[in-house]
Structure 1
Amino acid sequence: MARSRSVSSRVRAPRARGRDRHGRGLRSSVTGPHLPMLRGRIDLFESTVADTAEYLRGLWPELSSATFEVAGLPRAVSGPGIDRWLVIPEESRIILFRLPIERLSKLHINDEAHMRMMIEGCVLRAVGELLGRDPWDLAPDRFRHH
Protein backbone atom coordinates (compact mmCIF):
# COMPACT_ATOMS: atom_id res chain seq x y z
CA MET A 1 0.00 0.00 0.00
CA ALA A 2 1.37 3.38 -0.99
CA ARG A 3 1.88 5.95 1.63
CA SER A 4 0.76 9.52 1.00
CA ARG A 5 3.12 12.30 1.84
CA SER A 6 2.09 14.60 4.58
CA VAL A 7 3.10 18.22 4.93
CA SER A 8 5.14 17.45 8.02
CA SER A 9 7.32 14.96 6.17
CA ARG A 10 8.46 17.48 3.54
CA VAL A 11 11.90 18.90 3.99
CA ARG A 12 11.90 22.67 3.86
CA ALA A 13 14.91 24.88 3.53
CA PRO A 14 15.23 27.40 6.33
CA ARG A 15 14.01 30.79 5.22
CA ALA A 16 16.55 33.56 5.12
CA ARG A 17 15.60 36.92 6.46
CA GLY A 18 15.42 39.80 4.04
CA ARG A 19 14.22 39.86 0.48
CA ASP A 20 14.21 36.15 -0.38
CA ARG A 21 11.25 35.95 -2.70
CA HIS A 22 9.93 32.58 -3.69
CA GLY A 23 13.15 30.82 -2.72
CA ARG A 24 15.25 32.56 -5.36
CA GLY A 25 17.83 33.95 -2.97
CA LEU A 26 18.62 37.45 -1.81
CA ARG A 27 18.51 40.26 -4.31
CA SER A 28 21.69 41.81 -5.61
CA SER A 29 22.19 45.44 -6.54
CA VAL A 30 20.59 46.66 -9.75
CA THR A 31 23.92 47.69 -11.24
CA GLY A 32 25.59 44.34 -10.71
CA PRO A 33 28.96 43.60 -9.15
CA HIS A 34 31.11 45.30 -11.80
CA LEU A 35 29.43 48.69 -12.07
CA PRO A 36 29.41 51.51 -9.53
CA MET A 37 26.39 51.85 -7.30
CA LEU A 38 23.66 54.20 -8.40
CA ARG A 39 23.66 57.59 -6.70
CA GLY A 40 20.48 58.98 -5.30
CA ARG A 41 19.33 62.57 -4.84
CA ILE A 42 20.60 62.75 -1.27
CA ASP A 43 24.06 61.52 -2.28
CA LEU A 44 24.23 64.00 -5.15
CA PHE A 45 23.16 66.87 -2.90
CA GLU A 46 25.59 66.07 -0.09
CA SER A 47 28.55 65.49 -2.39
CA THR A 48 27.86 68.73 -4.28
CA VAL A 49 27.71 70.70 -1.03
CA ALA A 50 30.92 69.07 0.22
CA ASP A 51 32.79 69.65 -3.06
CA THR A 52 31.73 73.29 -3.26
CA ALA A 53 32.59 73.89 0.40
CA GLU A 54 36.08 72.40 -0.06
CA TYR A 55 36.63 74.50 -3.17
CA LEU A 56 35.63 77.67 -1.32
CA ARG A 57 37.75 76.77 1.71
CA GLY A 58 40.74 76.60 -0.60
CA LEU A 59 40.02 80.14 -1.84
CA TRP A 60 38.95 81.84 1.38
CA PRO A 61 40.89 81.13 4.61
CA GLU A 62 38.00 82.65 6.62
CA LEU A 63 36.01 79.48 5.86
CA SER A 64 38.50 77.09 7.48
CA SER A 65 36.42 76.95 10.67
CA ALA A 66 33.02 77.14 8.94
CA THR A 67 30.74 74.13 9.12
CA PHE A 68 28.35 73.13 6.35
CA GLU A 69 25.34 71.01 7.26
CA VAL A 70 22.49 69.51 5.27
CA ALA A 71 18.99 69.28 6.72
CA GLY A 72 15.74 68.19 5.18
CA LEU A 73 13.49 71.13 6.03
CA PRO A 74 13.65 74.25 8.20
CA ARG A 75 11.97 73.88 11.58
CA ALA A 76 9.72 76.89 11.13
CA VAL A 77 8.63 78.98 8.20
CA SER A 78 9.55 82.64 8.60
CA GLY A 79 7.84 85.06 6.29
CA PRO A 80 6.03 84.37 3.06
CA GLY A 81 8.55 81.87 1.61
CA ILE A 82 10.51 78.84 2.72
CA ASP A 83 14.19 79.34 3.51
CA ARG A 84 16.70 77.49 1.35
CA TRP A 85 19.55 77.93 3.85
CA LEU A 86 20.25 79.31 7.30
CA VAL A 87 23.43 81.22 8.16
CA ILE A 88 24.51 81.50 11.79
CA PRO A 89 27.44 83.95 11.74
CA GLU A 90 28.24 83.64 15.48
CA GLU A 91 28.98 79.93 15.04
CA SER A 92 30.32 80.25 11.47
CA ARG A 93 27.72 77.69 10.46
CA ILE A 94 25.68 77.21 7.29
CA ILE A 95 22.69 74.86 7.12
CA LEU A 96 21.36 74.03 3.67
CA PHE A 97 17.82 72.68 3.42
CA ARG A 98 17.75 69.95 0.79
CA LEU A 99 14.03 69.59 0.08
CA PRO A 100 13.23 73.27 -0.57
CA ILE A 101 16.32 73.61 -2.76
CA GLU A 102 15.50 70.50 -4.80
CA ARG A 103 11.75 70.81 -5.06
CA LEU A 104 11.03 74.51 -5.15
CA SER A 105 13.72 75.50 -7.63
CA LYS A 106 12.49 75.67 -11.16
CA LEU A 107 15.10 74.27 -13.52
CA HIS A 108 14.65 74.71 -17.25
CA ILE A 109 16.38 71.33 -17.75
CA ASN A 110 16.01 68.87 -14.89
CA ASP A 111 19.20 66.82 -15.10
CA GLU A 112 22.18 66.14 -12.84
CA ALA A 113 24.40 68.91 -14.27
CA HIS A 114 21.79 71.64 -13.83
CA MET A 115 20.91 70.36 -10.36
CA ARG A 116 24.60 70.50 -9.36
CA MET A 117 24.92 74.07 -10.66
CA MET A 118 21.80 75.12 -8.77
CA ILE A 119 23.08 73.55 -5.52
CA GLU A 120 26.50 75.21 -6.01
CA GLY A 121 24.72 78.54 -6.50
CA CYS A 122 22.86 78.10 -3.21
CA VAL A 123 26.13 77.27 -1.40
CA LEU A 124 27.79 80.35 -2.96
CA ARG A 125 24.91 82.61 -1.90
CA ALA A 126 24.94 81.22 1.65
CA VAL A 127 28.73 81.69 1.93
CA GLY A 128 28.37 85.19 0.49
CA GLU A 129 25.84 85.95 3.22
CA LEU A 130 28.22 84.54 5.87
CA LEU A 131 31.23 86.54 4.65
CA GLY A 132 29.30 89.67 3.69
CA ARG A 133 30.47 89.50 0.05
CA ASP A 134 28.87 89.22 -3.35
CA PRO A 135 28.45 85.50 -4.13
CA TRP A 136 29.83 85.87 -7.66
CA ASP A 137 33.02 87.47 -6.31
CA LEU A 138 33.73 84.39 -4.19
CA ALA A 139 34.66 82.11 -7.09
CA PRO A 140 35.07 84.16 -10.28
CA ASP A 141 36.90 81.40 -12.20
CA ARG A 142 34.47 78.65 -11.23
CA PHE A 143 31.88 79.46 -13.89
CA ARG A 144 34.15 80.67 -16.67
CA HIS A 145 33.79 78.69 -19.87
CA HIS A 146 36.94 77.07 -21.26
Structure 2
Amino acid sequence: MAWRRSKEHAPTPARRPSRHGRHGREGRSPIVRPPLPPLETRVDRFDLAVGTAAEFLRSAWPELRDVSFEVGDMPPSTDDDGIPRWRALVDEKRIIMYRLPIERLSHLHRDDDLHRRMMVESSVFRAAAEYLGRDPWDLGPERFRFF
Protein backbone atom coordinates (compact mmCIF):
# COMPACT_ATOMS: atom_id res chain seq x y z
CA MET A 1 0.00 0.00 0.00
CA ALA A 2 1.48 3.35 -1.01
CA TRP A 3 1.51 6.19 1.39
CA ARG A 4 -0.55 9.17 0.30
CA ARG A 5 -1.10 12.57 1.80
CA SER A 6 -4.51 13.55 2.76
CA LYS A 7 -6.04 16.62 1.20
CA GLU A 8 -5.93 18.41 4.57
CA HIS A 9 -2.13 18.65 4.47
CA ALA A 10 -1.72 19.39 0.79
CA PRO A 11 0.39 22.51 0.20
CA THR A 12 -1.55 25.46 -1.06
CA PRO A 13 -0.28 27.11 -4.20
CA ALA A 14 1.58 30.37 -3.64
CA ARG A 15 -0.58 33.41 -4.25
CA ARG A 16 0.69 36.29 -6.26
CA PRO A 17 0.97 39.40 -4.17
CA SER A 18 -1.83 41.79 -4.82
CA ARG A 19 -0.96 45.06 -6.51
CA HIS A 20 -2.71 47.01 -3.79
CA GLY A 21 -1.57 47.23 -0.20
CA ARG A 22 -3.81 47.30 2.80
CA HIS A 23 -4.28 51.05 2.41
CA GLY A 24 -5.51 50.76 -1.15
CA ARG A 25 -2.35 52.13 -2.73
CA GLU A 26 -0.47 50.44 -5.47
CA GLY A 27 2.64 48.59 -4.31
CA ARG A 28 6.09 49.17 -5.76
CA SER A 29 7.66 46.66 -8.00
CA PRO A 30 10.65 44.84 -6.52
CA ILE A 31 12.87 45.92 -9.42
CA VAL A 32 12.45 49.67 -9.20
CA ARG A 33 13.09 51.19 -5.79
CA PRO A 34 12.54 54.77 -4.75
CA PRO A 35 15.63 56.94 -5.09
CA LEU A 36 17.71 56.84 -1.94
CA PRO A 37 19.63 59.82 -0.60
CA PRO A 38 23.40 59.51 -0.97
CA LEU A 39 25.04 57.91 2.00
CA GLU A 40 27.11 60.31 4.03
CA THR A 41 28.98 58.97 7.01
CA ARG A 42 30.77 60.71 9.85
CA VAL A 43 34.06 59.74 8.21
CA ASP A 44 33.00 61.45 4.96
CA ARG A 45 31.92 64.61 6.79
CA PHE A 46 35.18 64.68 8.76
CA ASP A 47 37.28 64.21 5.60
CA LEU A 48 35.36 66.98 3.84
CA ALA A 49 35.82 69.40 6.75
CA VAL A 50 39.56 68.66 6.98
CA GLY A 51 39.98 68.95 3.20
CA THR A 52 38.21 72.30 2.85
CA ALA A 53 40.06 73.82 5.81
CA ALA A 54 43.37 72.49 4.46
CA GLU A 55 42.69 73.96 0.99
CA PHE A 56 41.87 77.33 2.53
CA LEU A 57 45.10 77.28 4.54
CA ARG A 58 47.17 76.19 1.54
CA SER A 59 45.79 79.04 -0.54
CA ALA A 60 46.45 81.59 2.21
CA TRP A 61 49.86 80.42 3.42
CA PRO A 62 52.60 79.47 0.92
CA GLU A 63 54.46 77.58 3.67
CA LEU A 64 51.63 75.03 3.73
CA ARG A 65 51.37 74.34 -0.01
CA ASP A 66 53.65 71.29 0.12
CA VAL A 67 52.30 70.01 3.45
CA SER A 68 50.24 66.83 3.38
CA PHE A 69 47.10 66.90 5.55
CA GLU A 70 46.20 63.32 6.46
CA VAL A 71 43.43 61.73 8.49
CA GLY A 72 44.04 58.87 10.88
CA ASP A 73 41.59 57.12 13.17
CA MET A 74 43.61 56.97 16.39
CA PRO A 75 47.10 58.06 17.41
CA PRO A 76 49.57 55.21 17.96
CA SER A 77 50.21 56.25 21.57
CA THR A 78 49.36 58.85 24.17
CA ASP A 79 51.65 61.66 25.25
CA ASP A 80 52.10 63.68 28.45
CA ASP A 81 48.99 65.75 27.70
CA GLY A 82 46.77 62.71 27.10
CA ILE A 83 45.45 61.59 23.74
CA PRO A 84 46.70 63.84 20.92
CA ARG A 85 44.16 65.19 18.45
CA TRP A 86 46.76 65.83 15.74
CA ARG A 87 50.44 65.49 15.04
CA ALA A 88 52.46 68.14 13.18
CA LEU A 89 55.56 66.57 11.63
CA VAL A 90 57.63 69.48 10.30
CA ASP A 91 60.54 67.36 9.04
CA GLU A 92 58.22 65.14 6.99
CA LYS A 93 55.92 68.02 5.89
CA ARG A 94 52.87 66.21 7.24
CA ILE A 95 49.98 67.05 9.53
CA ILE A 96 47.98 64.07 10.75
CA MET A 97 44.49 64.71 12.12
CA TYR A 98 43.12 61.97 14.39
CA ARG A 99 39.38 61.64 13.82
CA LEU A 100 38.22 59.70 16.88
CA PRO A 101 39.82 61.90 19.56
CA ILE A 102 38.63 65.06 17.80
CA GLU A 103 35.06 63.80 17.45
CA ARG A 104 34.66 62.06 20.78
CA LEU A 105 36.75 64.04 23.23
CA SER A 106 35.73 67.53 22.18
CA HIS A 107 32.88 69.06 24.13
CA LEU A 108 30.38 71.02 22.07
CA HIS A 109 27.95 73.45 23.64
CA ARG A 110 25.51 72.66 20.79
CA ASP A 111 25.63 69.28 19.07
CA ASP A 112 24.66 69.95 15.47
CA ASP A 113 26.32 69.70 12.05
CA LEU A 114 27.54 73.31 11.98
CA HIS A 115 29.25 73.15 15.38
CA ARG A 116 30.81 69.75 14.65
CA ARG A 117 32.23 71.13 11.39
CA MET A 118 33.54 74.25 13.14
CA MET A 119 35.18 72.05 15.77
CA VAL A 120 36.96 70.00 13.07
CA GLU A 121 38.04 73.16 11.20
CA SER A 122 39.36 74.76 14.38
CA SER A 123 41.40 71.61 15.04
CA VAL A 124 42.90 71.87 11.53
CA PHE A 125 43.73 75.54 12.14
CA ARG A 126 45.35 74.74 15.50
CA ALA A 127 47.39 71.90 13.96
CA ALA A 128 48.56 74.15 11.11
CA ALA A 129 49.41 76.89 13.62
CA GLU A 130 51.49 74.42 15.60
CA TYR A 131 53.22 73.35 12.38
CA LEU A 132 54.03 77.00 11.49
CA GLY A 133 54.78 78.10 15.05
CA ARG A 134 52.06 80.78 14.97
CA ASP A 135 48.84 81.65 16.74
CA PRO A 136 45.74 79.98 15.18
CA TRP A 137 43.94 83.34 14.94
CA ASP A 138 46.75 84.66 12.72
CA LEU A 139 46.07 82.02 10.06
CA GLY A 140 42.62 83.15 8.99
CA PRO A 141 41.38 86.30 10.67
CA GLU A 142 38.95 87.07 7.83
CA ARG A 143 37.46 83.57 7.86
CA PHE A 144 35.94 83.95 11.34
CA ARG A 145 35.11 87.64 11.17
CA PHE A 146 31.34 87.07 11.15
CA PHE A 147 31.15 84.55 14.03
Residue segments in structure 2 that go unaligned for 5+ positions in a row: 6-12, 14-28
Point out the structure with max Rg over C-alpha.
Answer: 2
Residue in 1 aligned with 2:71? 70
Q: Which runs of 5+ in 1 are unaligned?
A: 5-9, 11-23
Once residues 66 and 39 of structure 2 are traced to their aligned partners in structure 1, the CA distance between those partners, rounded to angstroms, is 32
Aligned position for 2:46: 45
2:133 alignment partner in structure 1: 132
1:104 aligns with 2:92: no
Q: Any idea what SS the aligned residue of 1:121 has?
A: helix
**Structure-2 change in CA distance of 1:60 and 1:37 (3 Å):** same
C-alpha separation in 2, matches of 1:40 and 1:113 = 15
Structure 1's 40 and 91: CA in aligned 2 closer, same or farther, altered over 3 A? same
TM (norm. structure 1) is: 0.76
The amino acid across from 2:108 in the alignment is L
Please give the root-mean-square deviation of Cα atoms over the aligned residues, in Å: 2.8
Shift of 1:38: 3.4
Letter in 1 for 2:55: E
Per-residue CA distance 1:23-42 (angstroms, 9 max, x = gap): x96896xxx42x64132111
- 1:46-102: per-residue Cα shift (whole Å, max 9, x none)? 000000000111101111100000000001111241000001000110000000000
**Segments of 4+ in structure 1 off by > 4 A?**
24-28
- Give the equivalent residue in structure 2 for 1:93: 94
Tell me the TM-score normalised to structure 2 length: 0.76
1:76–1:113 CA distance, 2 compared to 1 (3 A): same
